[in-house]
A and B are shown apart, each in its own frame.
Chain A
């Protein structure tokens, strides 16, 4: 069963991927496609651009995107409606508490803190309250928000995005 084109779908969940365009974000949308011959579903990946002037979403976020009534440009067909799940900042939907994900379902942040309090928490330990919002290491020590590439030319200048 052929899927409808991703740009025509009115509402989708997409994962934000690195993008050079200003005022827009690129999303990877995963949909399951039925192979009628063997009655099995296979993942189908599509890439969609969405209008995001306020820069709501960052790389890796799970975002709800909505189709625009008219195309903004040749590429931008959708707009960002809501950031459903920011990367690395997970909330348990049942209790509403913050979670650190892990192999066995993860742990509540409160629980981790309680354990370290019993053992004697260190003053230098990481504290969520004092931590700045995500993105303060962008272009300094964290380069996961860009598409890196293998260095192919020596310009004499530093190329921070090359590997």
Chain B
């Protein structure tokens, strides 16, 4: 009823496509069949985020706890008494200390090295791995969570500094401790549907562009032998014509020979690829 009276509305009703374009100016929906899957959120204290490839090492629990290892009384003690002082019956703190020391020993410069960057990083690595194991069992312990996150970030900061100061040592340390170092991205924000779809669409377009370029390159390559043959024939023809007409000969034999060589090489390559 209104469309008959208002000219612009009558035009809109006549063409549905134009109508949809004119009316739907918000929340534009793409026709591309791109499906976005929201990545699952990973806690910042998980090994995937902290970069720890391996967990705590498995240790032999039949050995004495570190604080009793030098005891002379235990040397002559009964087997049952000895067993009571092993890591099996020691508190978790002692076992962890033993593990930290073993990790630190791998990177120490000398036996009294306690303050070098690599030893500090190794110590924090041990602590992080021990705490990650505890957090698996008690995920609601927020105090530990905060401590762990601070430790992970402190280790990352010191790795960053070590990289700037001594790159070779930094790489050696990563290999020895089995830690992955990824610098922070320039922009840190939560992934959103709109932004992700924009990125995926851009990637889709880029892929199409690359695919078409590759196809075109392959097509040109397939045309190359025929083109070279034609070029060789044409140059020979031009040379003969120039000779017959008594004009200065601009085409040399070397030029034609070069093209023949190119053609032979191309054919050889084709034969080789066929055999493969």
- Answer yes or no: are A and B bound together in one complex: yes
Q: Give the size of the chain B interface in residues (CB under 8 angstroms).
A: 48
**A88 touches which one: B106, B109, B168, B185 (CB < 8 A)?**
B168
Residue interface mask B26-47, A partner, CB < 8 A = 1 = 0000000000111110000000
- Distance from B183 Cβ to chain A, minimum over Cβ atoms (Å): 5
Q: How far is the CA of A25 from the CA of B195 in the complex (A)?
A: 28
Who on chain B is nearest to A128 by CB? B168
Q: How far is the CA of A122 from the CA of B184 in the complex (A)?
A: 34
Which DSSP category, helix, strand, loop or mixed, fits chain A's interface? Answer: loop
* B191 touches A (CB below 8 Å): yes
Q: List residues of chain B with CB within 8 A of the CB of A37.
A: none
Given contacts A60-B164, A89-B168, A142-B181, contact A153 B174 (CB under 8 A): no
Using a CB-CB cutoff of 8 Å, which residues 163-199 of chain B contact chain A?
Answer: 163-175, 178-191, 195-196, 199
Q: List residues of chain B with CB within 8 A of the CB of A126.
A: 107, 109, 118, 168-169, 172-173
**A119 touches which one: B110, B172, B187, B191 (CB < 8 A)?**
B110
- Distance from B108 Cβ to chain A, minimum over Cβ atoms (Å): 6
**B39 touches which one: A101, A119, A137, A153 (CB < 8 A)?**
A153
**B170 touches which one: A88, A120, A132 (CB < 8 A)?**
A88
Who on chain B is nearest to A141 by CB? B174
Q: How far is the CA of A143 from the CA of B183 in the complex (A)?
A: 7
* Total number of residue pairs linking A and B with CB closer than 8 Å: 130
Given contacts A122-B108, A152-B39, contact A88 B180 (CB under 8 A): no
* A121 touches B (CB below 8 Å): yes
* A38 touches B (CB below 8 Å): no
Q: How far is the CA of A141 from the CA of B170 in the complex (A)?
A: 11
Q: Are A137 and B40 in contact (CB under 8 A)?
A: no
Q: Are A153 and B37 in contact (CB under 8 A)?
A: yes
Chain B residues near A (Cβ < 8 Å): 36-40, 49, 53, 105-113, 118, 163-175, 178-191, 195-196, 199-200
